[in-house]
Structure 1
Amino acid sequence: MKILVVDDDALQRRLLTGFLKKKGYDVADAADGREALAYFNQQPVDLVILDHRMPGLDGDAVLAEMKRLTPLVRAVMITAYGTVTTAVEVMKLGADDVLEKPVDLTTLLEKIQRIEQGLAVAEDAADVAETVDRKDLPINLVGGGPAMQEVISLVHRVAPTPWAVLISGETGTGKELIARLVHLLGPSSDGPFVEVNCGAIPENLFESELFGHEKGAFTGAAGTRRGRFELAVGGTLFLDEIGELPPSLQPKLLRALQEKRFCRVGGEREIEADVRVVAATNRDLRQLTTEGRFREDLYYRLNVFDIPLPPLRERKEDIPDLVDFFLRRYADRPVRFDPEALMTLSRYAFPGNIRELEHIVQRAVTLVRGNRIRERDLPPEIRFHQAAHQGTLAERLDAVEREMIQTALEKHDGVQTRAAESLGISERVLRYKMKKHGV
């Protein structure tokens, strides 16, 4: 990583430059803002460490110009005036962090290492996005927030290996999407991607579904049938909801994974199984092993690499991009969300994660009459959720009451008599409450 140190104090400049060079970084320095910008225009720089107060161009002006020239440049501002106001203003300009003088070199090194790690993650995510675009892969990566970039970076490093991968996350977080991405970026991308939903197949049919069967192996087996394991040879077998795998089948799956061979039900010939296995679960497999409901040796065989998917409530910065993606997919005319509607969405917890957001957008574009989706067009549970989680008890109750009145009036096209009847109150009480809440 190339670092530029900018400080008009020669002693401070030499101290920082010498320390960072000893730590193995490629470091240049500049004595003032103009010298720094001249260097910045000629040489690529990943990180700038600059003094806040300098003669001529101060740190704010230098940072603003550098961000204009290269928006992705990272920066740490050093200041002798460590007030909250200063920190806020500097961060608004795009600085990653602020350090007070005298500089604690250990703290500085920790911040640089975090920035370096962030740059590596962003580079991995960019490589994956470029690969998806260049190869025209049948997959869409939406969301560039830090949490999702961490996931994509992990996929970038794990996919080229032949080892098993365990994807964990709540329902609706996109585990199948990540499984397909691992397959498409992996060494078996030209092979098949075969999915097995371990929670949707009856236990008495599961072994046949997974390993296949020979003719006459059981009543109804009129012919030989290849199982999902065999169909996935040369490609990827995706075991979705692996936590639902029946205990009686866990030893057989473990053997197939260990020895890379299996027998069909009713068969004697062993079949080679050169298969990359990707499993997914919304359950805590570690806890299941503790309870004796999932084999510990199978857990470790599946969990060579773990890719945890964050729930949507932990990556809300991706909601606008996801909304735009679903609008493009489902809207048959130009439609957009009002800022207030987007803000309400961002305050919702999304227990159903991305799948729930997708359904909300589908509903909104279907029912909205114009080309703007307003807050009132969102489902009541989302609006009520916002009202029920802010302010004092009295404020929350008032907000819920106001939402219910608005919903009733909208449902009955503004006819107060019918709205009051649906709410179980008199029309006079309804008018009083409408006045009270400014409806």
Structure 2
Amino acid sequence: MMNILIVDDEEMQRTMLQGFLEKQGYRIFTAADGARALRVFMEQPIELVLLDHRMPDMNGDELMEKIKEISPTVRAIMITAYGAVDTAVRVMRLGADDFLEKPVDLEALLDKIRRIEDEVLVAGDVEEVQEIIASEDLPVRLVGSSRPIQDLLSVIQRAAPTPWTVLVRGETGTGKELVARLVHLLSPRKNGPFIELNCAAVPENLFESELFGHEKGAFTGADRRRRGVFELADGGTLFLDETGELPQAMQAKLLRALQENTITRVGSEQPVPVDVRIVAATNRDLKEMVEKNMFREDLYYRLNVIEIEIPPLRQRKEDIPELIEFFLRKYNSRSRFDNQALAQLTKYNFPGNVRELEHIIQRTITLARSSVITVRDLPPEIRNFRGRSGGSSNLAERLTEVEREMILDSLEEHNWIQTRAAEALGISERVLRYRMDKLGIKNQGRK
């Protein structure tokens, strides 16, 4: 549980918050003023600060700045007077994670603390994965710093060391093989083989041989003994891509191999023990296929011990500039995208996800007549895109996308000058900056 510092000059408020949060299992420290709060903060490993905005010796803004100077990564929730919207915006700009109005709703406070606690744990997982990738010079990395990517890395970090079967779900082009390789490289099996089989590319009559191998003379053309992917992956990881394409006749045999950790080559009766960790991937809904009797239920549950779902690119658009920079470096390109081109790329929904973005970058830097890429250089489907994101049935997500598009449109129209964009939107510049931060919109204006 987190170490929490409560800073409030009202003893009753401190006592009430302390009692409530200690019952939830948190370790609580308290301070009646800013000076005492700073002393406690220096002495104890505080992870979250709850601070009142109005205090006698220094207000919450000043204390927040001092605390952030000492430890920029500490999390904070400011408690403000009812209706103090300007104050709330200001403290968020100073680095507060959230704010609450008085009188404090304890359940709302607990929800916010649990959300922050989860973010802290995820951040720790991500840092550990990145350290391993950097220290061991692994050839695989997931590009992006958005919350969906952080959540994904956190799940991978926790799943990789286990022996359990992993099912990776995601749309075409999201990077399922990349995730499977990262699971392997972060696992105790990292020094063993990583073998991939695309189930959609194997003719049905050759499936059993591909999986389990065959003996010489097992069928016409079998002129020698051949090992299947299970034997090739012994001691390592077997990645079964497009698992939804497994023929039904092979599903029972695959299940048996997973249950017994043995295989039998075609044309043999001798069982062969294998030590393989399975990572399966699909862009199909296997649960729906089970309901339609297209996929064995027992195999589905055997494969889906740990599920990892990869977010589509349209749900993490804030990663697009970072992905573009990554692909430019990958192809040794000195090109750069101007603000309008970046804004237009960010609007697009990318049905082909990261793979489509990579192909667009390759195509654009090859055909562009200048090293500075403008909207005119983008492919027609991007250049002429005017639609909204639409695909979600969740009202909150759709409203968020509409807000994102309105802000991007205004910033693009005013050349990313925030004062003018805010004026056109009818909001203050501080509110615009706050909303940009919440929506993951990075300032792409001139430095």
Distance 1:389 1:16, change over 3 A: closer
Contact preservation (8 Å) 2:4, 2:49: yes
Aligned to 1:28, the other structure's residue is in SS state: strand
Separation in 2, partners of 1:24, 1:294: 44
Separation in 2, partners of 1:373, 1:68: 39
More deviation, 374-383/204-213: 374-383
1:228-377 correspondence runs (5 A): 228-332=229-333, 334-377=334-377
Q: How many residues are treated as equivalent by the alignment? A: 390
Distance 1:285 1:53, change over 3 A: same
Residue type of the alignment partner of 1:154: V
Shift in Å at residue 68 of structure 1?
3.7
Contact preservation (8 Å) 1:129, 1:141: no
Residue type of the alignment partner of 2:350: F
Residue type of the alignment partner of 2:110: L
Contact preservation (8 Å) 2:166, 2:280: yes
**Structure 2 residues without counterparts, runs of 5 or longer:** 391-408, 410-447
User: Residue by residue, what CA displacement relative to the aligned partner does 1:172-212 show, whole Å, maximum 9, x if unpaired?
Assistant: 11111111111111121111000000001111111111111
Separation in 1, partners of 2:225, 2:51: 72
Question: 1:134 aligned to 2:135?
Answer: yes
Shift in Å at residue 75 of structure 1?
1.0
Distance 1:372 1:68, change over 3 A: farther
Greater radius of gyration (CA) = 1
Distance 1:307 1:387, change over 3 A: closer
Distance 1:99 1:362, change over 3 A: same
1:181-260 correspondence runs (5 A): 181-260=182-261
1:63-82 correspondence runs (5 A): 63-82=64-83
**Partner of 1:424 in structure 2?**
none
Shift in Å at residue 388 of structure 1?
7.2
Shift in Å at residue 95 of structure 1?
1.8
Distance 1:381 1:64, change over 3 A: farther
Aligned to 2:384, the other structure's residue is in SS state: helix
Separation in 2, partners of 1:83, 1:347: 34
1:138-149 correspondence runs (5 A): 138-149=139-150
User: Residue by residue, what CA displacement relative to the aligned partner does 1:302-360 show, whole Å, maximum 9, x if unpaired?
Assistant: 0111111111111112212211111110133x332222222222211110111111111
Separation in 2, partners of 1:308, 1:46: 29
More deviation, 142-151/298-307: 142-151
Aligned to 1:177, the other structure's residue is in SS state: helix
Contact preservation (8 Å) 1:76, 1:98: yes
Shift in Å at residue 389 of structure 1?
7.4
Aligned to 1:163, the other structure's residue is in SS state: coil
Separation in 1, partners of 2:93, 2:386: 28
Contact preservation (8 Å) 1:78, 1:99: yes
**Structure 1 residues without counterparts, runs of 5 or longer:** 391-398, 400-439
Shift in Å at residue 41 of structure 1?
4.2
**Partner of 1:40 in structure 2?**
41
Separation in 1, partners of 2:156, 2:204: 32
Shift in Å at residue 231 of structure 1?
0.4
**Partner of 1:378 in structure 2?**
378
Separation in 1, partners of 2:37, 2:371: 49
Shift in Å at residue 387 of structure 1?
5.9
Separation in 2, partners of 1:368, 1:86: 47
Contact preservation (8 Å) 2:198, 2:240: yes
Contact preservation (8 Å) 1:330, 1:365: no
Separation in 1, partners of 2:140, 2:339: 28
Shift in Å at residue 106 of structure 1?
2.1
Distance 1:8 1:371, change over 3 A: farther
Aligned to 1:220, the other structure's residue is in SS state: coil
Contact preservation (8 Å) 1:344, 1:386: no
Aligned to 1:297, the other structure's residue is in SS state: helix
Residue type of the alignment partner of 1:352: G
Contact preservation (8 Å) 1:214, 1:264: yes
Shift in Å at residue 248 of structure 1?
1.2
CA RMSD in angstroms comes to 1.9
Contact preservation (8 Å) 2:164, 2:306: yes
Aligned to 2:281, the other structure's residue is in SS state: strand
Separation in 1, partners of 2:368, 2:45: 49
Separation in 2, partners of 1:255, 1:172: 31
Residue type of the alignment partner of 2:128: D
Contact preservation (8 Å) 2:141, 2:182: no
1:37-116 correspondence runs (5 A): 37-116=38-117
Identity across the alignment (%): 61
Contact preservation (8 Å) 2:349, 2:389: no
Shift in Å at residue 216 of structure 1?
0.9
**Partner of 2:126 in structure 1?**
125
Contact preservation (8 Å) 1:335, 1:371: yes
Separation in 1, partners of 2:60, 2:36: 12
Aligned to 2:157, the other structure's residue is in SS state: helix
**Partner of 2:395 in structure 1?**
none
Contact preservation (8 Å) 1:82, 1:99: no
**Partner of 1:169 in structure 2?**
170
Distance 1:8 1:258, change over 3 A: same
Contact preservation (8 Å) 2:170, 2:283: yes
Aligned to 2:200, the other structure's residue is in SS state: coil
**Partner of 1:416 in structure 2?**
none
Separation in 1, partners of 2:247, 2:324: 38
Shift in Å at residue 230 of structure 1?
0.8
Distance 1:283 1:199, change over 3 A: same
Separation in 2, partners of 1:305, 1:180: 16
Contact preservation (8 Å) 2:80, 2:88: no
More deviation, 170-179/77-86: 77-86
Separation in 1, partners of 2:77, 2:251: 52
Contact preservation (8 Å) 1:331, 1:365: no
Residue type of the alignment partner of 2:365: V
Residue type of the alignment partner of 1:326: F
